[in-house]
Amino acid sequence: MLRFLLVLILAPTLVIVAYRFVDPPVTPLMLIRLAEGQELERTWMPLERISVHLRTAVIASEDNRFCEHHGFDLKALGQEIDAWLAGERPRGASTITMQTAKNILLWPGRDPVRKIVEAWLTPQIELLWSKQRILEVYLNIAETGPGLYGAEAVARAAFAKPAAGLGRREAALIAAILPNPRKWSPSRPSSAIDRRARQIVTRIRQLGPLLDCAFGAG
């Protein structure tokens, strides 16, 4: 039993170490979607071959302080706790690193067990990977549409161009649909998604040096 527990604890860490150098071949969510009958469309792209507009748009949309925090956005987390205490519905304070930990090793959902394991894995990724590697992996494995994963797949499907060629507005539209990519489309945006994309473009200008890590290579 002790050996089993040690393996259970150490195996995810070994996977994280491996994925620092080796691109994840598949994720639990991809396998779940395949079992549900969906296709799997993904083409891995190194970070330098993904438009900087998409890199900055995803940070501006998903995790403003990605370049400076160490896996957890404590300020956003504090705001979520304040909202909960005030009787409001928390919007979530999940960082890009936390989402990457979930995507490479865990199952979808909001159950407490998954969140605890995610919190255990997140600082390990921050310690063992560079910010550029975290962003590169996230942009290649995130669900970006029905059967689509990563920047290249959604760029080809939505705009008939490679991820490297995405413009500012196209990138913002992709970032805007990430909270629910199976429901929303960057090529056929609703008024709410269009408005969200414009807000992302504005936020990119406001963040300035907080986006510096997006300009490095993977």
How many Cα atoms are found within 13 Å in the side-chain-facing hemisphere of 139? Answer: 31
Q: Which CATH superfamily is domain 32-95+126-215 in?
A: Biosynthetic peptidoglycan transglycosylase-like (1.10.3810.10)
Q: Which of 50, 17, 23 is nearest to 214 (CA)?
A: 50
Task: Look over the chain and give the mean of its residue pLDDT values, rounded to a whole number.
Answer: 90
> Does residue 141 surpass a pLDDT of 90?
yes
Instruction: Give the model's pLDDT for residue 72.
Output: 86
The DSSP call for residue 197 is H
Q: What per-residue string of b and e applies to 119-147 under the rule 16 or more CB within 10 Å gives b?
A: eebbebbbeebebbbbbbbbbbbbbbbeb
The domains of the chain are located at 32-95+126-215
- Prediction pTM value: 0.90
The DSSP call for residue 146 is T
Cα(28)–Cα(155) distance, integer angstroms: 23
Instruction: Give the model's pLDDT for residue 8.
Output: 63
- For residue 34, which amino acid is it? L
